[in-house]
C-alpha cells in the first residue's frame, strides 16, 4: 500500500458569488521514502495541495489517505496533532522568529515533538555549527533557509513538505538545500515533497507530479534520479 493516496480530491474557494476550484479531481499515490516534486506554473494549485497534505487546510471532496488514515475524518484537534507529530514544513521565506537565535528557533520547534533530534547536531549537519548562536538578521538568505530546514528536520517528521525551498536562493546554496532534502529521503527514510515551478529540478525526484489548471496533467517516474552534484538549473 502506498504511503500517500489522493483520490478525486477537490478544493474550492468561494469569492463572492464565484466558486474557484484550486484543486480539481486530483489523483496520485506516493511511496514511503520517496522524493517527490509537484511541478506546475503559478496558479496551478501546487501550494493548495501542499497545504491539504500538511493538514493546514481542509478539502471539499475526495480522499487524502496518509499512512492509512484519511485526513477527511480529522477534526481541528486531530489536524493539529497530525501537523505536530508527522509533518515538517519548509517555506520559501523561512518564517524564522527574529528575536531568537538559530539554535533557539530549532529548539522551539522540537519542544512539541515526541522524538526530536538534538538541535545543535542538526544545525551542525546543515553546516551551521559556527552560526547557531546568531540571530536571523545576522545570517545570509541561504543560512536562514538552512535553519528552516534544520527546524523541520529536527522534528524527525514522517513527511517533509517544502514550498519553493530554493526560490529565494542563489544557485550554489540552492543545490546545498536540495542535497539536504534528498538526504532526508535517502538516509533518514522521510517522504519529501517539493513544490516548485522550476522544471529543471524534476530529474532529481523519484516521482514528478505535473499540475496544470488545478488538476494532474501527468505523472512521471525517474528510475534513476539525477545526482544533485551534476544538476544544472
What pLDDT is attached to residue 35? 97
- Copy the grid coordinates of residue 117: 533530534
State whether residue 30 is helix, strand or coil.
strand
What is the CATH code for 4-95+159-230?
3.40.50.300
* Alpha carbon distances (Å) from 87 to 120, 127, 135, 213: 20, 23, 25, 27
Task: Name the nearest CA neighbour of 169 among 161, 179, 177.
Answer: 177
pLDDT at position 42 is: 87
Is 106 within 8 Å of 123 (Cβ atoms)?
yes
Q: How far apart are CA 150 and CA 103, in angstroms?
A: 9
SS3 110: helix
Nearest of 97, 82, 8, 25 to residue 51 by alpha carbon: 82
Check: CB of residue 89 under 8 Å from CB of residue 161: yes
- Residue 193 in contact with residue 38, Cβ under 8 Å? yes
pTM, to two decimals:
0.91
Domain ranges in the chain are: 4-95+159-230
pLDDT at res. 71:
95
Q: Which residues contact 188 (CB under 8 A, 6 or more apart)?
A: 153, 156
Q: Please give the C-alpha separations between residue 200 and each of 165, 178, 209, 231, in angstroms, as whole numbers.
A: 14, 12, 14, 8
- Residue 156 confidence (pLDDT): 86
Q: Spell out the per-residue pLDDT of the chain, length 233, in tens.
A: 799 999 999 999 998 889 999 999 999 999 999 999 999 998 899 999 999 999 999 999 999 999 999 999 999 999 999 998 899 998 877 889 999 999 999 999 888 777 788 999 989 988 899 999 999 999 998 899 889 989 998 888 899 999 998 887 788 888 888 988 898 899 888 999 999 999 999 999 999 999 999 999 999 999 999 988 888 87
Instruction: Give me the pLDDT at residue 7, please.
Output: 97
Give the list of residues 6+ apart from residue 116 with CB closer than 8 angstroms, or none.
109, 110, 154, 155, 156
The phi and psi torsions of 203 (rounded to 5 degrees) equal -65, -20
Taking the CB of residue 190, how many other CB atoms lie within 10 A of it? 22
Distance CA 185, CA 26 (A): 24
The pLDDT value recorded for residue 168 is: 75
Amino acid at each position: 500500500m502506498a504511503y500517500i493516496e489522493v483520490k478525486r480530491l477537490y478544493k474550492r474557494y468561494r469569492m463572492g458569488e464565484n466558486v474557484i476550484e484550486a484543486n480539481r479531481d486530483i489523483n496520485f499515490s506516493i511511496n514511503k521514502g520517496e522524493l517527490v516534486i509537484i511541478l506546475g506554473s503559478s496558479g496551478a494549485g501546487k501550494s493548495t495541495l501542499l497545504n491539504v497534505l500538511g493538514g493546514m487546510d481542509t478539502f471539499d471532496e475526495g480522499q487524502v489517505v496518509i499512512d492509512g488514515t484519511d485526513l477527511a475524518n480529522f477534526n481541528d484537534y486531530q489536524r493539529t496533532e497530525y501537523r505536530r507529530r508527522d509533518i515538517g514544513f519548509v517555506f520559501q521565506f523561512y518564517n524564522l522568529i527574529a528575536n531568537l537565535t538559530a539554535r533557539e528557533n530549532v529548539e522551539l520547534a522540537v519542544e512539541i515533538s515526541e522524538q526530536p533530534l538534538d538541535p545543535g547536531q542538526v544545525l551542525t549537519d546543515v553546516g551551521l555549527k559556527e552560526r547557531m548562536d546568531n540571530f536571523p538578521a545576522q545570517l545570509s538568505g541561504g543560512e536562514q533557509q538552512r535553519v528552516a530546514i534544520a527546524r523541520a528536520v529536527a522534528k524527525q517528521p514522517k513527511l517533509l513538505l517544502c514550498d519553493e525551498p530554493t526560490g529565494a536562493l542563489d544557485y550554489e546554496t540552492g543545490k546545498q538545500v536540495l542535497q539536504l532534502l534528498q538526504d532526508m529521503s535517502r538516509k533518514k527514510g522521510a517522504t519529501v515533497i517539493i513544490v516548485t515551478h522550476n522544471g529543471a529540478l524534476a530529474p532529481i525526484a523519484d516521482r514528478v507530479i505535473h499540475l496544470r489548471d488545478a488538476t494532474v496533467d501527468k505523472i512521471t517516474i525517474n528510475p534513476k534520479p539525477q545526482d544533485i552534484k551534476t544538476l544544472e538549473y
